[in-house]
Structure 1
Amino acid sequence: MTALRPLLITAGEPAGIGPDLVIDLVCQPERMVSLPPFAVVGDPALFRDRARLLGVKLEIIEVVPGQSITPAPGVLPVRSVPLSAPVVAGQLDRRNAGYVLACLDEGIRACLAGEASAIVTAPLHKGVIIDAGYPRFTGHTEYLRDACGVDDVVMMLATENLRVALVTTHMPLSDVPAAVTADKITSTLRILHRDLVRYFGVSAPRIGVCGLNPHAGEGGHLGREDDDIIAPALTLLREEGMVLSGPLPADTAFTPHHLRDSDAMVAMYHDQGLPVLKYAGFGRAANITLGLPIIRTSVDHGTALDLAGSGRAERGSLDVAIDQALVMARAATQGK
């Protein structure tokens, strides 16, 4: 099996807990010995300042594309991208919005160029990026889709014994019904099915699909989308050989009866599926973008500005995101 190329981690919003998490990561000797070569994308000065604030002794090594550093406790390899303005932990600054996107761009570029095996992203702050002059920015998922030049991607969150994928992602609830189209449903399920096989070793995925309306439309009495759009799309995909259950009433779709028979569950919109996932495993889950030509995972939480620099940020989700990225990267390597 070919050795993995370095893993890249973007630290996200510099005033948030992303820098704290990567600093805590490299200060754990037992964790470092389990990792392949990796580097954090960001400004070395940011990590020096945050380490001082946290009272942590940290050695920073600046690395360049193609350079590989064996992980060592207390050593943070950094692929340098300069900040636009000084950072105060917990205080957003619009001037650094471009820096956040530049770090993400470098991670994407490195993966597309074959310099990195995967990118793991710490949380960014959508609002400050939009306010800084990027009004069309809606989040990592959509930004990665556009940067990689693909038509569609799937947001899937995963924790122990539960995977939840979304048909629609970051949009107002009032826009969801019009966005739940047959094409969007079939695209989501084809991507999910393919990547469960390709990256997660599920040879014959069993996928549960939630309806849009309460009680999956109650035979049309609570909305027609379930009968007129979702059900025909599932029938088409079953004819292609997919094993699908649904459309299921969302209020019972996540009960043990259905989950026992599903390798993943598909929700029609963000707050239909993710509250269940986060209740089951918040802090122990990873956000995974399927359908990209690169591997990308992320933490399951936000920037937690109130915890930045306090030493109280919990690293669990970053560990899960790294582990999921490594599972996927190893599967991709074995497939070559």
Structure 2
Amino acid sequence: MIIEKIAESRFNDSVFESTVFGKEFSDHMLIAHYKDGKWGEATIKPYGPITMTPAAMSFHYGQTIFEGMKAYKNENDDVFIFRPEKNFERFNLSAARLNMPQIPKEIFIDGLKAIVDIDRKWVPQDYGTSLYIRPVMFATEEAVSARSSNEYIFAILLAYAPSYYEKPLSVKIADFYSRAAQGGVGFAKCGGNYAASFFPASEVQKEGYDQIIWTDSIEHKYIEEAGTMNVMVRIGNKLLTAPTSERILNGVTRDSVLTLAKDAGNDLEIRPVEVKELYDAYKSGELKEVFGCGTAVVITQYDTIGFGDERVQLPHLAEEDSFALNLKKKLKDIQYGLVEDPHGWRVKIEKEN
């Protein structure tokens, strides 16, 4: 790996005063080029623009994938990342689905550890804040030909992440637009999934909602995801979530939350969840919590749900009674190195650079 350090760091304490997610980028980025059927040597270099032709195939045919991860710092200035092997595996699953080359572990994992180490001063220490990590791959071959590209760039970018979605959100259940279809790319973290969601999201925002709970594309009968997150439902004392599929992302946070719920002895079912079941539970008083989980937010609660033209309010639970808040604290405490890590999820970034 080639390392070209910045001449003078751009870091100052005002970085951590930002309230905008993913806009304050760190000093360095990692870049690797794929050409002639192989990956070249990765380079860590000062963060900045890269030169690309407007004929780069990612602009025309959408071959672009990414991951979302975070780095955390404890009171001893130790820096951790969380379950990087899961993101590495999922990145290559996305690559395979979009007919892109597999990224080697020595570029993804070793590069990830190296760049976080070099920019460790950018990792904030305040609980709830973090350094967001964005691995991304996109097609760069200069051609307007409807086929897979023969050239790609893999990059890792780092950006400050303030606390995100601290207040409960209002969501509307989709009854027309869909996020993904069976046989499609819903399980992959590709740019097109997100681009297609922006217009429906803007439509419900006009009605006063923050996000959408996506439903299946055939009948709009079953809930699937919420915004850009996996979604979980508590009916009575039972926690429910949809199984992963070709339409639903296999979230790292989702998997972690389910594991912690099992550890806590929560009654848990992974099965299709009907919109009608949700509504009936609300009418009977059994719908206690609905929440989304994902890397950026960890867990965010929903306090209002729109069923068609009806807008319903969920109960406000005390912190000690909330599955969502309890699971969020347990997960964050592991991520920040405040408690034991029984599952070996936390990976310490050793100081080398």
TM more than 0.5:
no
**Structure with greater proportional strand content:** 2
TM tier, shorter chain? under 0.3
**Structure with greater proportional helix content:** 1
Greater relative contact order (Cα 8 A, min sep 6): structure 1 or 2? 1
